């Protein structure tokens, strides 16, 4: 069995941002030489997510509105965690959107559905953060 590990780095300009990382994951799969296996992609920070959904700007706006309704950023005073930081909302948003995604590799390629795209979801950005890609297979 082969294994392959890579880290991606992101430093978003905005506090919250969704970034399509499908091409970077596909490149890692290619570089791994694995043709049949699995790729795990996970955020290495507890205020960011990796998830799969549609790359459609209206939907991305809907995610922002929905997440702000579930866990509004402000007022900061509404959260106990914000006694230490101002990012309680980002921890909650990350939990809703998920830590990681796993995608099958078939024939050396990501075996995604027709509209599936892999996203890095940043909820407390403007600083350097990492995503782990781990590939296993043969």
CB of 131 to Zn ion, least distance (A): 18
Task: Rank residues 17 and 87 by Cβ distance to Zn ion and give the closer one.
Answer: 87
In the complex, least distance from residue 87 CB atom to Zn ion, rounded to whole angstroms: 4
Q: Dig out the tokens for 103 from the structure.
A: 């995608």
Identify which of residues 81 and 134 has a Cβ nearer to Zn ion in the complex.
81
Q: Does 95 bind Zn ion (CB under 5 A)?
A: no
Among candidates 7, 9, 5, 6, which has minimal Cα distance to 122? 9
Q: Choose which of 17, 87, 101, 117 interacts with Zn ion (CB under 5 A).
A: 87
Structure tokens, 102? 């796993």
Specify the 3-state DSSP secondary structure of 13. coil
Query: Which residue lies nearer to Zn ion by CB, 87 or 101?
Result: 87
Q: For Zn ion, give the closer residue by CB, 12 or 87.
A: 87
Contact residue for Zn ion among 27, 85, 111, 138 (CB under 5 A): 85
Residues 91, 96: Cα–Cα separation, whole Å:
9
For position 12 contacting Zn ion by CB under 5 A, the verdict is: no
Is residue 122 within the footprint of Zn ion (CB under 5 A)? no
3-state per-residue secondary structure call for 93-127: HHHHHCCEEEEEEECCEECCCCCCEEEEEECCCCC
Residue with the two structure tokens 């795990």: 40
- Under the rule (CB under 5 A), what is the footprint of Zn ion? 85, 87
């Amino acid at each position: 069995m082969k294994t392959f590990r890579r880290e991606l780095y992101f430093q978003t300009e905005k506090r919250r941002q969704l970034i399509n990382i499908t091409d970077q994951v596909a490149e890692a799969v290619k570089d791994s030489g694995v043709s049949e296996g699995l790729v795990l992609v996970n955020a290495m920070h507890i205020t960011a997510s990796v998830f799969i959904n549609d790359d459609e700007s209206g939907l991305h706006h809907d995610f922002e509105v929905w997440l702000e309704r579930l866990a509004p950023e402000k007022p900061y005073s509404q959260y106990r965690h914000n006694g230490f930081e101002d990012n309680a909302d980002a921890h909650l948003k990350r939990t809703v959107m998920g830590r990681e995604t796993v995608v099958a590799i078939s024939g050396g390629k990501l075996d995604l559905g027709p509209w599936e795209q892999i996203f890095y979801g940043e909820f407390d950005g403007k600083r350097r953060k990492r995503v782990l890609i781990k590939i296993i297979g043969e």
